[in-house]
Amino acid sequence: MGKLLSIALSFLILFQSLNLELGDLAHIDELLEHAEYHSEKYGDNFLVFISKHYGELQKEHSQDHKEEKKEHEELPFNHHCCSHIYTDFVLNHTGIPLLKIRPVADLTANFYYLDNYSSFEKFDIFQPPK
């Protein structure tokens, strides 16, 4: 069960790193229908279709065929992810003066067991461990 869970979490991390969503898998049928439409109308094979919708021909195709804009928005893997990482790096040559602190003296005390209770008879259960 533990291995199955770790494999499932590994696939989840893989899909998230590839920016895949479950909603994209639901729209696969629309991708295939639109690819079939391109094959019938324009004679495009699947690689040209992918290039027109996800590759280098995307800009030209979207400008030439604005009537298909609604179908293009429903295609999977068409979401745009934008993440910005701001990193500040300051190079400053002025040194920060270190505080001169005296080391704290090591004051370790010797602790030992002292039996403050005495009785005539000492039971074994009340004795410290040996």
Helices (H), 1-130: 2-17, 22-26, 28-41, 46-54, 58-64, 69-73
pLDDT of the residue at 6 = 92
Tokens representing residue 52 in the block: 């027109």
Q: How far apart are CA 49 and CA 46, in angstroms?
A: 5
The answer to pTM > 0.85 is no
pLDDT one-digit tens code per residue, 56-113? 888 888 788 778 777 877 788 776 666 666 666 666 666 667 777 776 666 666 666 6
